[in-house]
Chain A
Amino acid sequence: MTIQAQPAPAPLDDAPSYWSIVWGQFRKRRLAYGSLWCGVTLFALAVVAPAVAGNKPFLWRVDAGPWQSPWFTSLFDRNFFESTLDIFFNCLLVPGVLALPACWWWWRRTHARARRPRVRARRRFMLMAGALWLLAFIAINAFATSSPKVLHPALAEQLRSEGHKVLAVYPPLPYSFRDVDLDQVRAPASGQHWLGTDDAGRDVMVRLLFGTRISLTVGIFAVLLYIVIGTVIGALSGYLGGWVDAVFMRLVEVVISIPSLFLILTVAAFIEQRSIFHIMFIIAAVSWTTPARLVRAEFLRLRNLDFVSAARAVGYSEAQIMFREMLPNALGPVLVTATFGVASSILVESTMSFLGLGDITVPSWGQVLNTGRTTGIWTMILAPGFAIFVTVSLLNLIGDGLRDALDPKMRA
C-alpha cells in the first residue's frame, strides 16, 4: 500500500515515503514477516479450496462422449456453492490463477525501470485490475447459473454398473463440505477421511478447509466495515470538536458499556436465518468504537500541526483537509488495530458458531468444534481449535510486528 503524505509536489526520487520506511522496518522483523507470508498462504488455501476438495470431477467423460469439466462449471453454480461468499472466492480463484502470469510478466517488464514510474504504473495497473475483477464478480454473482444437483461419484457408480466406461478425475479430497456419508458417521481418522467424519458423516478435513473461507472473510470484511465507520466518526469528532465530538463520544461510551459478546449473541439470536453477512454487520456494529477513539486522538494531535494550517491557508475544503491531508497521517495505528481486529473478529465469529448462534449453513470452525464438544471425538476438538489458534496467532504476530515497525522508538 502506498499512500503519500503530501500529494502536491513530487518528492525527491531517493526520499523514501513513510510507508516504504514502515515496510522496510516490518521486513526486518522476521517472525512478523514470516507470519505475513503464512497468512497469505492461508488466504491462498482458502481461494484454492475447491481445487483441493470437492465432489465435482475436474474431467468427466462417459464412454467416448465429450470431455466435460463439471468442476469448472460448478464454480459459478448457485445450486452447488450456495453462498455469495463461495462465489466470491471462486471468482478470486479463476481470474487469480489466470492473472498470475500476467502480473509476473508486468513485474518483469517494469522492474528494470526507474522507481517512480514503476510505482505509479503498478498502482494504475492494480486499480484497473481490481475494478475489472469487481465488475466481473458482480456480474457473475448476479447471473450465477444454477444447474440441477448431480452427485458425480454416485452417478459414476451407477453408469459403471450399467456397463459404461466412465473416466473421472477428482480433486485430492473427493468430498464436498456437505456431502453426507451415512456409512461413515463418526468415523475415526483414516486414509479415506484424514480427520474422520462428524455426526452427520461429513468429512471434517474438508469442512475445516472451507471454514478458512468463512473465518477470513468474516474477519476481514467485518474489520473493513468497522474501520471505515470508526475512522469517519473519529475523524469528524476529532477535527470538528464541539457538540459533534460530545455526541459521538457519549455514543462511544454507551456502546462500550454494553458487554459486547452479550449484545452480539443477543442480536444474532433474534435474527431469523442469519447469514455470515449478518454476523459481519453485527460485529462491526459493536466494534467501531476502538478505531473511532484512536482516530479521534490522532486528529486531536494533528489538527494543531503546521501542515494542517498550511492546507487551510491554501484554501482546501474541510473534507479535503480531513481525509486527504490528515487521514493518511493517522492511518498507522488504525492499521495495527485492524490487524488485531481481524484476529478478534475471527474469534467472535467462531465463538458465535460454537454457541450455535452463527450461520448454520456454512462449515465454520466453531461449528465443527461444537460438534466435537457434543460428540466427544477428540480430533474434532483439536483440529478446528488448532486452525483457529494458528490463524489468530499469525494475525497477532503480524499486528505486533506492524506496531513495532510503526514505532519510531523501536526502529533498528
Chain B
Amino acid sequence: MLAYALKRLLMIPPTFFMVSLVIFVVLNLAPGRPGEQAQLSGEKAGTQQRESYRIFKEQFNLDKPVLFNTRFALTESEVKTLLENAYALRPATKTAQRLHAQNELEDTGTYLVRHLVSLLGQTPDVALARAITTQLVQAARRPLRLDAHDPNATVTNRTIAAQNAEFMNWTLPDSATDAEVHTTAVRWQNWWQRNHEDFEYEGKKLRLLFSDTRFYKYWSNVLHFDFGQSTLDRRPVMPTIVSKLRYSLSLTLLSVLLAYLIAIPLGVWSAVRQNTRADTAMTVTLFVLYSLPTFFVGTVFLRFFTEGDPVAWFPAGDFESYDADRMTTLQRLRDVAWHLVLPIAAYTLGSLAALSRYARTGLVDVIRADYIRTARAKGVHEFVVIVKHAARNGMIPILTLLGSLLPVLVSGSVIIEVIFNIPGMGLYLYDAINLRDYNAVMGVLMMASVLTLFGILLSDLSYALADPRITFD
C-alpha cells in the first residue's frame, strides 16, 4: 500500500511536466500574441511604440521560439532578404511583408549580429548599410538583468547600459557618405573582434536548441516558483491565483461535501425501497436534475430568486457583501453563507444526481449478497443491516467517483463563478483568456491540473484503503 502510494506520488511530477508541455504548446501555437493588436495597429505604429512593444516581448520571452530554437542556423542571405523587406529597400514590398520581417528581425535578436557585421563589411549600398547599423544596435544591445536572484545585478546593469549607449553613436544618418559608412563599419568590426565569442554558436547548438526557448525559460522560472507576471497588471501571477483559490476551493469542497452528504442517504433510502413508487419517483427526479445544465440552473436561480421578480431571497451574486470587512466574524460568516446558498445549490445539483444514482446501484448490488441474508437471519436489526453491513460495502463505488468528479467540479467553477460573479480561479481564468494574459492562463491551468492530479491520487488511495480486497503489490 505504502509502495503503491509512493509510486503514484512519484508519477505526479513527470505527468505534471507533460501537462505543462501540452498546455504550453497549445497556448503558444495559437495565432496572435498579447499586446500585438494594441501596439501595432497597422501603419500608425511609430518607432516609439515598436520599441516599447519589443521590450515587452523581451520581458515576457515572447520573442523566443516556443519549443525548439534553430535560429543559429540562419544564413546570411536570409538575413539580407529580411533586412530588405523590413526596411522596404526594394520598391514592391507589401506592408504585411514588411511588418512580418520587422517582427522576425526583432525576435531573432542576437543571432543576427554575426551576419550583420559580416554584411556591413561587404555592402557598397548606403541604404542597406544604414539598415544594418540600425538593426545592429538593436540586436547587439544586451537586455538589463531584471532577475532578483542575482545580487550583482546593479553593477552588471551599469556596464551593459554604458555599452548600449555607445552603440547608439555607431549608426548612420540619412545623408551618410561612403567614408562615414566605412568608419562605422570599422568601428563595428573592431567591436566584433573583441566580443565575437559571445555570438559564436559552434558547439553550443544542441544546448541552444532547447534552452533558448520560451518553454525552457518558463520552466526554469517555475522551478523557482516564479510563474511569471501578468501581462496586464505586471504583478506576479501565482500569488494572485493562490489568493483566488480560497473562493474556488470553498465552493468546490463545500459542494463535494454536500453532494456526498445528501447523495449517500438518498441512495440508501432509494435502494431499500427498490422498485416501489417512491423509488421510481426519486429516480426520475434525480434523472431530471442530472440532465439540467449548471449554467441554466445558475441563471434561473439568479433571475428568479435575487431580482425581486418574483422574489429576492438571496443576494445577486458576489462572494460577500461589499462592507464585509467591517463585520464581526460571525456576521461575516453568515454573510458569506448567505451569498453562497445559490451558487452551491446550482453547483451541487448535477453531481448530487450522479452520486446518488451510483449510491443506489452500489447498494442494490450489495443487498442481494449472502452475508446480508445471514445478518438478517441472525436477527440483526434492519437499520443496522443496512447502515453497518450493506452501506459500508455498497458505498465503495462512489468513492472512486470522487476521482472523476474533481476535474469536472474544478472546471465547473468557471461557469458558476462567471454567473455569480465570485472572484475565484474560474472567473480569473475567464478574464485572462479574454484578455490574452498568457502567464495568468498558464498559471491557472497548471494550478488546476495540480489540484486534479492530487484529487485523483487521493480518491485512488481512499479506494484502496476502503476495500481490503484491493491490493497493489
Contact = CB atoms under 8 A, between A and B. Distances in A.
Interface of A: 250, 253-263, 265-267, 269-272, 343, 347, 350-351, 354-355, 357, 366, 369, 372-373, 376, 378, 381-382, 384-385, 388-389, 392-393, 396-397
A267 B293 contact: no
Nearest to B292: A389
Contacts of B307: 376
Interface string B223-240: 000000000000000000
B210 interface: no
B26 A267 contact: yes
13 contacts: A257-B407, A257-B449, A258-B449, A259-B408, A259-B410, A270-B26, A270-B436, A271-B31, A355-B414, A376-B303, A376-B307, A385-B293, A393-B291
Contact of B18 (A254, A259, A272, A382): A254
A347 to B, nearest CB: 5
Contact of A254 (B22, B296, B299): B22
A253 B15 contact: yes
A259 B452 contact: yes
A31 to B, nearest CB: 10
A389 B288 CA distance: 8
A385 B449 CA distance: 30
A254 B15 contact: yes
Interface of B: 15-16, 18-19, 22-23, 26-27, 30-32, 287-288, 290-296, 299-300, 302-304, 307, 407-408, 410-412, 414-415, 418-419, 429-430, 433-434, 436, 441, 444-445, 448-449, 452-453, 456
A355 B411 CA distance: 13
B415 A267 contact: no
Contact of A381 (B300, B445, B449, B452): B300
B26 A262 contact: no
Q: Which 6 A-B pairs have the closest CB atoms?
A: A261-B411, A270-B30, A385-B296, A269-B433, A393-B291, A259-B411
Given A258-B452, A265-B414, A382 B300 contact: yes
Given A254-B22, A381-B303, A385-B292, 15 more contacts: A257-B449, A258-B23, A258-B445, A259-B408, A259-B452, A262-B429, A262-B448, A265-B414, A270-B436, A271-B31, A354-B295, A369-B296, A372-B303, A381-B299, A392-B293
A272 B37 CA distance: 13
Interface of B is mostly: helix
A250 B18 contact: yes
Interface of A is mostly: helix
Contacts of A266: 26-27, 429, 433, 441, 445
B414 A261 contact: yes
B303 A263 contact: no
Contacts of B293: 347, 350-351, 385, 388-389, 392
Contacts of B445: 258-259, 262-263, 266
B419 A373 contact: yes
B291 A378 contact: no
Given A269-B433, A389-B291, A260 B411 contact: yes
A271 B299 CA distance: 27
B412 A261 contact: yes
Given A258-B448, A262-B444, A373 B26 contact: no
A358 B436 CA distance: 17
B415 A259 contact: no
Nearest to A392: B291
A259 B304 CA distance: 31
Nearest to B445: A262
A253 B460 CA distance: 14
Contact of A269 (B296, B434, B452): B434
A83 B466 CA distance: 53
Nearest to A378: B303
Contact of A256 (B30, B31, B302, B407): B407
Nearest to B446: A258
B299 A373 contact: yes
Contacts of B407: 256-257, 259-260
Contacts of B419: 373
A203 to B, nearest CB: 21
Contacts of A378: 303-304
A255 B303 contact: no
A254 B19 contact: yes
Given A262-B448, A267-B30, A369-B296, A351 B415 contact: yes
Given A265-B429, A385-B296, A393 B22 contact: no
Nearest to B21: A254
Contacts of B412: 261
A355 B291 contact: no
A23 B443 CA distance: 49
Contacts of B288: 393
A393 B295 CA distance: 16
A405 B308 CA distance: 48
B410 A262 contact: yes
B448 A259 contact: yes
A278 to B, nearest CB: 11
Nearest to A350: B293
B290 to A, nearest CB: 7
Contact of B415 (A355, A376, A388): A355
Contact of B433 (A270, A347, A350): A270
A296 B415 CA distance: 33
Interface centre among A261, A355, A384 (most CB of B within 10 A): A261
Contacts of A369: 295-296, 299
Nearest to B441: A266
B227 to A, nearest CB: 16
A293 to B, nearest CB: 11
Contacts of A351: 293-295, 415
Given A262-B429, A266-B429, A378-B304, A355 B418 contact: yes
Contact of B453 (A257, A271, A372, A376): A257
Given A355-B415, A385-B300, A263 B430 contact: no
A366 B411 CA distance: 17
B10 to A, nearest CB: 13
